[in-house]
Structure 1
């Protein structure tokens, strides 16, 4: 699935072992505490960096998803304020210093929700890492910038030959925030890997019902929510015991009858889509 870009034949450091390399807590200068978690793992010549996204009961993080404020960077575009904070922006508008490069292994990146964009390191010139970044995979990410920012990111990915995959499940509300309308400048960029409630995927430019609130979609969304609730009781028999959903997930499925689109943002559906739908969507990468 990931192309090998040539490992160095003469390393001054001992090779890293396969498996989990470490887990980390990253400081948020605005909240005065560590709010971003990540872990790194290695599988042969591949290093994966995965960031945890919005916690279900983190009201501050959900408010950031709904926040419409932004910063503007010359030559880059207008960028969501929450993204800039997650990336490491300090209160004095400076950036933390980065470690010097030493690894030459390709690095794919996975992130979830607003912290997903942390690997878009072209924003502050991490050229050495961009050259080793193999792919960026996001799951339920909100909109993060304007058209100009989208063009900047697409150009950076193309220049460094980085694959970018933005996954969206059904009526997940988070990828449809902040709104994309005449009063808002937020836009998605790149292609979207859209999966329906049966985990059947297709490549589209924009997910259906891009702004979530639609009278035409109200009844289909409710029917889809009922289907997912019923499926949670039978999916283990249909797909195997590893797909079993617990009572907590079923409770959230039921809550979806009141607020459709919220349960779809939970990791359960995104993990299932990767296991059941990705092989059909990307057969050449299996």
Structure 2
């Protein structure tokens, strides 16, 4: 229901980028008309478009991202927000459940479904440039792929302002695409763009690769001084998938900015109960789901009308009694933690040092 930014959080505040990021990630689930209205008239920012991108493996448009520019301050900020998995959007679910590996030499193994959604070229992988793309675009004979089109758009827009920066963000599947977008920039050694990348902000992001890929990313994040902020709210089940076990070998990398149901945060190496399924956690998760349901009724009384939840959202909270952690995945709690939660500082090396 919320479309307005928290005006008490201004540029320069450490909460600004994560707050704008989650609001953008939430907005990306909506249609282009609503994106344009909210960005231009509510946020007073410049709308750059909501685009559909082609998936060569599924042979359909399966990926969406919204872009806008905040020109209210100098240097201005460009935001790229990838859309996550809508509950009734089958194309996105196909990307999620494709658990096959895509092996990139020197990088490691990566979730193939996510890579295909980002623009993996069939059958040649990730060439730095698509041959004859510009000529084909002029004749409207080519499909646009997320990584390549967004990269080129960013180069054009950023070249107009020497001080401009950009951030990449997304919720759920969108978060996975956001960090993988950065990984392909690393692969292609896009130093000029990486120098302008202020950070990658993901919310409820699933695991995207194996341990080798995580090690590759940590080295590149440090080399190019790119900040990676992976937010996890309480019992959200999606960051705990796919499993980090002897069968699937998926692993997170970097620090986890973990918030409990009181929106109190800690920087951790890994979110608690990392693989979600555990008999020891069943009762605590159900009790926490009950607390979240009660909180839905009282938070607006304590914090104001911005925190009022619709009846549909309250009904979704009840799902937490049956599947604890599913109702915790919605964007509402991630918006709340950027407004109400404690401000966390990542370890300078981003190597997952544990902090309170």
Normalised to the residue count of structure 1, the TM-score between the two structures is 0.87
Aligned to 1:46: 77
Structure with greater helix share of residues = 2
Flag the 1:23–1:2 CA change in 2: closer, same or farther, 3 A. Answer: farther
Partner of 2:121: 90
Match of residue 24 from structure 1: 51
Check the 8 A contact 2:237/2:326 in 1, yes or no: yes
How many residues matched?
269
SS at match of 2:62: strand
* Residue of structure 1 equivalent to 2:254: 190
Per-residue CA distance 1:148-191 (angstroms, 9 max, x = gap): 11111111111111111000011111111110012221100010
Q: Quick check: 1:280 aligned with 2:339? A: no
Inter-partner Cα distance in structure 1 for 2:241 and 2:97: 7
Q: Displacement of 1:64 after TM fit?
A: 3.7
Post-superposition shift, 1:31? 2.8
The corresponding residue for 1:6 is none
Rounded to whole Å, the distance in 1 between the matches of 2:55 and 2:174 is 12
| Cα displacement string for residues 42-95 of structure 1 (whole angstroms, at most 9, x for unaligned residues) | 223211111111112234533543443111101110000112112201332444
Change in CA separation of 1:21 and 1:218 when aligned onto 2, cut-off 3 Å:
same
Contact 1:66 1:177 in 2 (8 A): no
Residue 327 of structure 2, aligned match among 241, 263, 267: 263
Looking at structure 1, the residues matched to 81 and 344 of structure 2 have their Cα atoms a distance apart, in angstroms, of 22
- After TM superposition, list the pairs within 5 Å mapping 1:124-139 onto structure 2: 124-139=188-203
Contact 2:83-2:173 within 8 A present in 1 as well: no
Gaps (5+ residues) in structure 1? 4-16
What residue in structure 2 maps to residue 243 of structure 1? 307
Give the corresponding residue for 1:140: 204
Contact kept, 8 Å, 1:235 with 1:244, in 2: the verdict is yes
Distance 1:185 1:213 in 2: 16
SS in 1 for 2:243: coil
Q: 2:64 aligns with which of 33, 37, 41?
A: 37
Cα deviation, 1:4-24, whole Å, max 9, x if unaligned, reads: xxxxxxxxxxxxx94322221
In structure 1, which of residues 146, 156, 160 is the aligned counterpart of residue 220 of structure 2?
A: 156
Give me the whole-angstrom Cα distance separating, in 2, the residues matched to 1:209 and 1:34.
35
Task: Quote the residue 1:7 is aligned against.
Answer: none
Rounded Cα–Cα distance in structure 1 between residues aligned with 2:190 and 2:13: 21
Q: Partners in 2 of 1:90 and 1:240 — Cα distance?
A: 48
Task: Tell me, in whole angstroms, the C-alpha distance in 2 between the residues paired with 1:113 and 1:29.
Answer: 22
Give, in whole Å, the separation in 2 of the partners of 1:215 and 1:63: 29
Deviations 1:102-130 (A, max 9, x none): 42421111112223234323244433321
- Secondary structure at 1:274 match in 2: helix
State the secondary structure of the residue aligned to 2:232.
strand
Once superposed, what is the RMSD of the aligned Cα atoms?
2.2
The counterpart of 2:88, out of the listed 53, 57, 61, is 57
Q: Is the 8 A contact 2:205 2:238 kept in 1?
A: yes
Which of 272, 281, 305 is residue 208 of structure 1 equivalent to? 272
Q: Between Structure 1 and Structure 2, which shows a larger proportion of strand residues?
A: 1
Question: Matches of 1:248 and 1:54 in 2, distance apart?
Answer: 18
Aligned to 2:229: 165
